Structure 1
């Protein structure tokens, strides 16, 4: 009888412990879905691309609206947010057109899709992706889009990765699935290589763009032309370029000597006419494709309490970095 009582007590104790673990885990999950004290205020509503005085971005604040495309008053980036209900891992827009790279569940694994959106974030067309979303851009007129995915590896920091970059003519539906098939001219000479990777498109117009090309252990800024299907090297040691609004400068990640192989990049600006490089005041490692808030100011993401915060710094090397927006990623300004 005593053994039965001991066994019964043990079962009850273990059951209580298990229940406590489950309730604690559930409490942590619920806490994760609640906005943090002092965190951004987010509410459901309509988000319209190109709306005057509104900045658009991916909301990273914990809660039911995490990963949704949201907007905020451009004069008050820390103010209340309006969340659209449209979830994207990577996003960009221009000319009233959005490109959304998202995860879609297929059985027991994730797959990924590029979705073209109109100004009210309604789906216009969709395209299956060959890998994990990395970068997305829309040309200024909203008629051409590009995206990059990882098809092997998951980081630009090491050498063991492979990318695929596609360019879509939204009007015609014509899709260049892999612009590595373009003819590469490196330092004035045609160059063919099995190890070529191209990523991080930034558009000048519907036909002309810049991107990063990597081959032989080096990276290059290349100027691309959709009409001639060519890529021509412009400058070495440039990754994830972003063209300024006036088309004269490139903001980019530069690998710097002496930095850790896991954190090798700093934020620079290249003058396309003179070839002069300017280091910005941001001295921390940067793994992002920066955007231009205006002709003088860069915005980029760094790790934060919610996964990502947006920071800003002058493009001319002056000033100091400062937080622009907490819990945010892939912003769009000046639509």
Structure 2
């Protein structure tokens, strides 16, 4: 056998053995993935096309461990515990309505992470983005999809005894008008204008593209405020309201309330406020709720609680009846099609 033939034979052998090794590695990795999922009881998640305007779909941030963690994921509304379709879009906070999405995401740098708010079209493609001043905490889209809000935690405000405060922004997705900080709005409590350095505003929920509700805090108290973009005003309606969420018919607000006698580290319970009578109703959920609930329909609330993967979604009737039950494991930041 010539030297050339021997070299060709050797090269062929190396290639075959390399292919066998790669195949064995991939096969073992696939088995490990399936084994890990079976042992953990985690949901099945695969890549695919996700649309924000698809009917009868639930959307949320997937929290299951694996290559699709933190991706916006879709499931059929009638089979929320079924296989998940992952979009490839990573978000820390997310919301969507009428084919518009808002994704608050981390931008990983060599020295530190930064954050940005990304406006998404109905195929989850970026329209534009805005740099954020701090870590994301809340996000909402108006029912028409035209107006979007987000809240972040920021540090460095000297008046904040806990060394952080919030900053909330609202943007018109068509006209691109940006209200970068709602603390610049005129705040009234009890009919009097409040001028204080410690005002914080967070947790927007939209009535329409101009009117909204939010939480405003000053002087150690929190208030439900009604906001108006055209007049740049925030008017207090009720005290001890945080992270409001407006019902689909616009008549009630779900919110977290600090209750007397609760553990200071777990002080919030889930309530519903009738906007006409200002009557409060405690839901049947008795655990600490540190979330901005979502209305799945006109009768049911969805909210997050700690779970094996970081967060699970739970549901409870809004009228105080029934009992809470787990809706989805390994999920956060839901949005449901109307």
TM-score by length of 2: 0.87
Indicate if the aligned counterparts of 1:34 and 1:62 stay in contact, CA closer than 8 A: no
CA separation in 2, counterparts of 1:57 and 1:192?
Answer: 38
Pairing partner for 1:163 from 141, 162, 166: 166
CA drift at 1:34: 4.8
CA drift at 1:268: 0.1
Structure 2 match to 1:117: 120
CA separation in 2, counterparts of 1:72 and 1:124?
Answer: 24
Determine if the alignment matches structure 1 residue 232 to structure 2 residue 235.
yes
Residues 289-313 of structure 1, C-alpha deviations (whole Å, 9 max, x = no match): 0000000000000000000000000
The alignment's C-alpha RMSD in Å is 1.7
Determine if the alignment matches structure 1 residue 242 to structure 2 residue 236.
no
1:241 match: secondary structure:
strand
Structure 2 match to 1:37: 40
Pairing partner for 1:201 from 200, 204, 210: 204
CA separation in 1, counterparts of 2:142 and 2:60?
Answer: 17
How do 1:65-84 and structure 2 match up within 5 A? 65-84=68-87
- Given the superposition, is the C-alpha separation of residues 159 and 254 from structure 1 closer, same or farther in structure 2, using an over 3 Å criterion? farther
Structure 2 match to 1:21: none
Structure 1 match to 2:271: 268
Pairing partner for 2:67 from 64, 67, 71: 64
Give structure 1 stretches of 5+ with no counterpart: 1-26
How do 1:82-101 and structure 2 match up within 5 A? 82-101=85-104
* More deviation, 98-107/317-326: 98-107
Pairing partner for 2:285 from 282, 287, 291: 282
CA separation in 1, counterparts of 2:277 and 2:332?
Answer: 32
Indicate if the aligned counterparts of 1:47 and 1:71 stay in contact, CA closer than 8 A: yes
CA separation in 1, counterparts of 2:164 and 2:109?
Answer: 24
Indicate if the aligned counterparts of 1:117 and 1:124 stay in contact, CA closer than 8 A: yes
CA drift at 1:73: 1.0
CA drift at 1:107: 2.6
CA separation in 1, counterparts of 2:225 and 2:231?
Answer: 14
TM-score by length of 1: 0.88
CA separation in 2, counterparts of 1:252 and 1:199?
Answer: 12
Determine if the alignment matches structure 1 residue 176 to structure 2 residue 179.
yes
Determine if the alignment matches structure 1 residue 135 to structure 2 residue 133.
no
- Given the superposition, is the C-alpha separation of residues 34 and 177 from structure 1 closer, same or farther in structure 2, using an over 3 Å criterion? farther
* More deviation, 312-321/37-46: 37-46
CA separation in 2, counterparts of 1:255 and 1:160?
Answer: 21
Structure 1 match to 2:255: 252
CA drift at 1:315: 0.2
CA separation in 2, counterparts of 1:201 and 1:129?
Answer: 16
Indicate if the aligned counterparts of 1:115 and 1:124 stay in contact, CA closer than 8 A: yes
* Structure number with bigger Rg: 2
Aligned residues: 303
CA drift at 1:159: 5.2
Residues 107-135 of structure 1, C-alpha deviations (whole Å, 9 max, x = no match): 31000000000000000000000000000
Indicate if the aligned counterparts of 1:92 and 1:99 stay in contact, CA closer than 8 A: yes
Determine if the alignment matches structure 1 residue 301 to structure 2 residue 317.
no
1:300 match: secondary structure:
strand
